[in-house]
Amino acid sequence: MPAFHRARFLPAAVSCMAAFALAQSGPVRAQPAWPAKPVRLVAGFAPGGISDILARVVGARLGDTLGQPVLVENRAGAGGTIGADFVAKSAPDGYTLFLGVNATQSIAPALYPKLPYNPATDFAPITIAAVTPVLLVTHPSLPVKSVKDLIAIARAQPGQLNYASTGTGALPHLTTELFSLRAGVKMNHVPYKGGAPAMMDLVAGQVSLMFDNIPTAIAQVRANKVRALAVAQAKRTPAAADIPTMAESGFPGFEVLSWQGFLAPAGTPGAVVNRLNADILKVLAQPDVRERLTAQGIEIRTSSPAEFAAIIRADAEIWAKVVKATGTRIE
């Protein structure tokens, strides 16, 4: 074929081939807008607890806002780390979320030598959602009416006072150890498998004291079965406004926040994280949601994703020091 004929033929051939390829591939489809299907919200603890209550209350309303169901899934075990690990390894597409707590995001890195996930790098924080005040309670037979009284007895009887916790490495355990370190006292740890048996033995006088969440402790306080000394936060809590803070009780600077917050797997698009932040804050601002959670002793507290990340980092620094000082480890 002459050169000029080839030159006229090639563009036409290329054009035909391109058209054929486009026809074979079909129309270009845009990615569906998020969310286009139900969202899974993983709670790391069993049904009925504070995490489960918060997840279900917020999840139901969040589903209404998103226009897709938010399905709560309980993956309990190992202090919540089983659920955390599952979410850390999930696709970062906005369809799997986690309700994290101190134990999974701040304490676990120091407590577990072989933690299968990295809280600092495997998650995208969305917002802190709530804090649960921590209460210092004693058995009525212990002759103390203030934190100062407790410290005086503990110093006079080193290693003689028994304190309960919900398990080794759990927040009540490490909170008591933090208190002991700062007060310069030594007490004997008695771990239990959960808050209910721990509180039962405190009521029975088998142990002398414990730090416990207000929702589980306040009923026993009101029934005069245990004595409340102080709440471990900077200001009094609406759930028990008559109970003084640690600072008011002569032990300033002691604050422990038992917090819960929403996270997504690292790599989740920023637009999705920001949308979730805005929508969760709207849900938590609804009067009936606030009323229902407050009735459970849960104080609502929200943040930006960056602020939540800072809370997790600061919390992790505190508990890493306590774990190191006490030598606590979970294999």
Mean pLDDT by 10 residues, the chain (331 residues): 43 46 47 90 90 94 97 93 97 98 95 94 98 95 96 96 94 96 96 91 98 91 96 89 93 91 98 98 97 89 98 96 93 74
Q: According to the model, what pLDDT value does residue 256 have?
A: 92
Sequence spans of domains, the chain: 39-131+257-326, 134-232
The CATH code of domain 134-232 reads 3.40.190.10
Q: How far apart are CA 24 and CA 38, in angstroms?
A: 33
Residues facing 125 on adjacent strands: 263
Q: Is the dihedral of CA 308, 313, 315, 319 positive or negative?
A: positive
Considering the domain 39-131+257-326, what is its CATH architecture?
3-Layer(aba) Sandwich (3.40)
Alpha helices in 89-194 (DSSP H): 102, 108-111, 147-156, 171-183
Residues facing 199 on adjacent strands: none
Q: According to the model, what pLDDT value does residue 14 have?
A: 43
Q: Which residues contact 251 (CB under 8 A, 6 or more apart)?
A: 147, 148, 151, 182, 183, 230
Same fold, 39-131+257-326 and 134-232: yes
Q: Which residues contact 19 (CB under 8 A, 6 or more apart)?
A: none
Q: According to the model, what pLDDT value does residue 31 have?
A: 56
Assign 331 to helix, strand or coil: coil
Q: How far apart are CA 89 and CA 170, in angstroms?
A: 24
Q: According to the model, what pLDDT value does residue 195 have?
A: 86
Q: How far apart are CA 130 and CA 266, in angstroms?
A: 22
Q: How many CB atoms lie within 10 A of CB 209?
A: 24
